[in-house]
């Protein structure tokens, strides 16, 4: 199923090889959909399909790069950006600057949590 999604994206973009970031994005979307499916099976107590989805999730996760932890994200933001948080009106402004740096290396929700914590400490 994942392979067909990759092929479909290649046809859509009219290329033969996707970039690593494109492939990771497809895998992350598939992982998100599978997690949603898993939650549905859990609500219906469908044990057999729960185990199948968990197995599929474990396979998908093997193809993703390891994600940065909250402390690694915080350390990188502090050391690399030398940001003056008082210059920004909201954490959303900071996210626009910071998120492209962490794309593919960290979960956006975790980055947002770290940025919100740093922004609120200003």
Q: Which residues of 19-30 are buried (b: 16+ CB within 10 A; e: fewer)?
A: eeeebbebbbeb
Same domain, 81 and 114: yes
Same domain, 110 and 92: yes
Query: What's the confidence (pLDDT) of residue 84?
Result: 67
94, pLDDT greater than 90:
no
The total number of structural domains in the chain stands at 2
Same domain, 47 and 84: no
Same domain, 55 and 80: no
Q: What is the pLDDT of residues 74-85, one digit of tens each?
A: 998 888 776 666
Task: List the beta strands (DSSP E) in the chain.
Answer: none
Q: Is the pTM of this model over 0.85?
A: no
Distance of CA 122 to the CA centre of its chain: 26
Same domain, 6 and 52: yes
Structural domain of 28: 2-62
Q: What is the pLDDT of residues 23-68, one digit of tens each?
A: 988 999 999 999 999 999 999 999 999 999 999 999 999 999 888 9
């Amino acid at each position: 199923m994942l392979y067909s999604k990759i092929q479909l994206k290649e046809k859509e973009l009219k290329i033969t090889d996707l970039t690593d970031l494109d492939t990771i994005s497809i895998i992350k979307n598939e992982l998100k959909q599978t997690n949603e499916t898993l939650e549905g099976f859990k609500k219906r107590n469908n044990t057999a399909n729960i185990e199948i989805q968990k197995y599929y999730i474990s396979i998908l996760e093997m193809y993703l790069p390891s994600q940065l932890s909250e402390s690694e994200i915080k350390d990188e933001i502090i050391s690399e950006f030398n940001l003056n948080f008082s210059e920004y009106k909201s954490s959303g402004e900071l996210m626009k600057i910071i998120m492209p740096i962490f794309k593919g290396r960290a979960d956006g929700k975790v980055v947002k949590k770290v940025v919100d914590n740093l922004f609120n400490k200003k």
